[in-house]
Amino acid sequence: MAVVDAAGAIPQNERVSLLRVLGPAHVWALGVGIVLVGEYMGWNFAVGKGGAYAALVACWTAGLLYTCVAMIDSEVTSTVAAAGGQYAQAKHIVGPLMAFNVGLFLVFAYTMLEAGNAITVGFLVDTVAKMAGHEGVDQRPFIVLSIMFLAWLNYRGVLATLTFSLVITAFAFIAIVVLFFSVQPWSAESPLRHAALMGTELPYGWLGVLAALHFGLWFYLGIEGTTQAAEEVRSPPRALPYGTMAGLMTLAIAATLTWYVCAGLMPWEYLGQAGVPLFDAARLTNNTFLMWLLGVGTLFATLASANGCINDASRAWFSMGRDHYLPPWFGAVHPTYRTPYRSIIFLVPVALTFALGMPLDQVITFSILSGLLGYTFMPINMIMFRNKWPLDTIKRGYVHPFHPIPALVLVVLCGLTYFAVFLGYGTQLIAMMIFYIVVSLWFHFWRYRFVKRSDQFSMPWPRPRGY
């Protein structure tokens, strides 16, 4: 870390680095903040794929998948404490080509998710305007304004950015809990009518359950983004495992409560295509306070998610630039705010392009596919990590139990999810695979010559076993 003198200036011979100012609560806010919007929108498309029961099975199956992801990430990232998250892991453990692809998986997953959040902000504003009697509100200015404001906040500093996320994420989570208790599921007077509204248990059979797994990921997609804070937390061995695992438990609770309330208030046929299901659930209670609470909660959840996505995508892009996987211009740190400001600015028009030019379900699918490719890498990474550096060779901040069972379970669940995505979005899946193959060839035959392999290894580890 660079030393700052009494006048606040950084000596010319010092390298400007990111600041270590974050604690476990900020890691929780980063992980939950990115994902909680999935409880407010997007998950319900799983209901349309296979019915309400299928969505619940998908929710818990995805929870198992992300438990494996969180356990693996907590061990490797608390040891490889560098910006870039899974990208930093790949460059140390697997190799340059894998690292390049993993970096792109991260950037596209978070940038697409950011675009989806901005679309939801515009949709929410339009919905509220219609309730107030104003038709035909142009959503585009609100989409642009939300992305530009959050990019500016990220530009100004990570501590303020994630403190903002902490506050609005906590509000959005509390709103879900308040809605659950307000409908009084334990009372005979409760408006919940699961038996009447959920219809046939599995309208499309077990194939529908498998298809629902595609959008079941939306309950948790992005929790792995906590790894992007590895270079900016005060204590990686403490903050990363605690923040990540606490975040996963928070999301599992919020996901189950969300499904229970929405499935009991709306027919599954409507729920499967609703734009903002939790807000719709609040409207069906005819309680003005709940309508405002969940309306603000939806807005806060989308802003927190987009905020975290900008943070994570820019860190991955910045790390690739710093290692010359991309032009080193992107590896610059702002001398005052100590943020990867060039990467933040560069990704703004990319997010705006997708937010203004693609429908929400397509944006969600591209984000899920990029994230899924990243999850497929994790079992390979974990097994190689344990084989190259056994437990007694290097100090780890956290050691996850039951290895290699989580890695093997993650491989199986990823395979099932690929098939689920193929059932509904096979063209997009094939198109993305072709895209990543093409850019891999570009990296191998052109960009790799600029990579300084001797400079990219930042961990003081011994030579791997077998080398």
Banded model confidence at residue 15, pLDDT cuts 50, 70, 90: low
> What six digits make up the tokens of 345?
């600015």
pLDDT tops 60 at residue 122: yes
8 Å CB contact between 176 and 254? yes
Confidence bin at 16 (pLDDT 50/70/90): low
The mean pLDDT value for 48-62 works out to 93
Lowest mean pLDDT among 1-5, 60-64, 82-86, 351-355: 1-5
Q: CB atoms < 10 A from the CB of 44, how many? A: 30
pLDDT higher than threshold 60 for residue 138: yes
Question: What average pLDDT does the chain have?
Answer: 89
| CA angle centred on 106, ends 18 and 67, rounded to 5° | 100
361 contacts 44 by C-beta, under 8 angstroms: no
Q: Where do the DSSP E strands lie in 144-269?
A: none
Q: Are 253 and 246 in contact (CB under 8 A)?
A: no
Cβ neighbour number for residue 393 with a 10 Å cutoff: 13
Please say if the pLDDT value at position 253 is more than 70: yes
pTM for the complete prediction?
0.88
* pLDDT for the residue 8: 40
- Mean pLDDT along residues 199-207: 82
Percent of the chain with pLDDT strictly greater than 90: 58
- The structural domains of the chain, ordered by start, are 25-456 (1.20.1740.10)
Read out DSSP for 9-26?
PPPTTSPP-----B-HHH
Over residues 263-322, the pLDDT tens digits come to: 999 999 999 988 889 999 999 999 999 999 999 999 999 999 999 999 999 999 999 999
pLDDT for position 365: 82
